Structure 1
């Protein structure tokens, strides 16, 4: 039976460790120095502060000084850093996962300093280990609760993704497999930007009680088309963008989650920079902010027009009013 170690005890890493243990796999969860508050809470109560359920007994919790023990005999290394911390995490665990069969990335974004996808970052840092990326509609809270979830696992060959994912595939976590790594990773990045935009409408309507349901539907559709446009320009497949990794993840992220929340707060009039700092101080990573910059850059390099994503960029970085997103409904 494959031994699983989840490196990183944020909300998603912890939720995945919980599912892994429930699936009957020997599972370790390693908290690094960035996870100290969560680690302290889990040591005391066996419960992550951002998740509703306690850790199953099958999760072996390890602290920052127990990396070697956490990684012992690991076959499936789950890398649960966010996109900004992926390279740092890889450098920390590199020698400990050299014998692993596969490294699985759950981050959804591009590396801020280089714009590289997570598969590229981990491929550079963990030579000799196959890399699998995870996409699709998977909120950490629901995964931790054992609620039905569907996800896409992608690798350079479908067989690699299947070999890595099959041990986790069950009725609570139903998997599809793909070799469209580019498409899955770009969809996973862009859906966070789309969610910020719909959150802006939630914020705009908060004081007036206006739901903007028609506008939300129009912008959701506009975002889906723009995701297809950029994904296909960069070598991904349209069916990936119109599937679980794209429109599926876009939907769940737009209904709830930290990126939508950030958009809502900005939509009520809170300054974007201050709002981001406050959320991050509370332990919430809002990857969609940096992803908004990446989408603008990639669209410019490809020579494509993405009016909805561009409107979000103007609101976050150019001082535009949140109402501007209502000008790109068609």
Structure 2
């Protein structure tokens, strides 16, 4: 099955660009409620699956042993901006473990947060690994590494941390991963289908607080993300603004190359989508359209209108076009 048009850019009354993709909504049983494109399309979930990668952190007892807070668990699921808030939390987390920035294996890059970037420039400082948008996830990996008394190269495929991540990933997606790629932060990223990723999100959505160890971990991670949207991404970002718009009722997470997921506890549903050309503006428009369809996101909220039916303006403030859902999507 082919990808279907999901988002369009119009300019001057003419269609300028079209973005196609695949999307699935699953219920708590893992069955498909609705689907667009090919549910069995194999994708790399990229950072959209960080809550799956964080499951062993809780299930192993490492989070409890380290006394991790819900804020730290939200940061473990984050693709953050590298703002002072994020960097400070990662630095303190590592110090509490008796470790340092040098123990991270994510690499350094310039922070996306403008204030922190400007501070570094003015102070003639180079960015460090704590500025990496995945440093919270890696702090979680290090917490698990220390708990397991494993070696320092925790991003290696055969390391106990990544073996635990793969096992949890395959169990919750209910699929054997057909392969893996190396993510931007150097950790393995296991492939799955769009259906498998949506099935996993629905499992998170349906997980009760007092269920099995895995369900309890899912429940806690979902609530931690929804309660701390500023840690999951950052100011101005879609994940943060849209979770705030939904008043903490839904947890959402983007991934590189236009992947987006949503966990909707009140509906016991999960969403996964992939825009095939990797266009972020399209994945943000598409997830908004699906959340509006399910009645959990206000179509007229400013955070929604920033991404769906989003008026485009040029540098002089003139309206030049609009980004909207393609005809027939989501129906």
With normalisation by structure 2, the TM-score equals: 0.29
Structure with bigger RCO (C-alpha 8 Å, 6+ apart) = 2
Higher strand share: 2
